[in-house]
Amino acid sequence: MAHLLVTGAAGFIGSHVCLRLLARGDTVVGLGEQHALGELLGLQCCMQFRG
């Protein structure tokens, strides 16, 4: 398990990277502008997620 920072986490690619990392059990800090896709996937700016 790693602790990772993903920039652009609210974007299409970044959000999917976050979800993939969480699925494998990593702790993810996502940084990005919040917009419709980020809200849809439950990602918010500067939030920390644990897998």
Nearest to 30 by CA among 4, 16, 9, 2: 9
Q: How far apart are CA 18 and CA 27, in angstroms?
A: 9
14: which 2 tokens? 């970044």
| Residue recorded with tokens 């990602």 | 43
Span 10-30, pLDDT tens digits:
788 988 898 899 889 998 888
C-beta separation of 5 from 26 below 8 A: no
Instruction: Assess whether pLDDT exceeds 80 at residue 6.
Output: yes
State the pLDDT at residue 35: 57
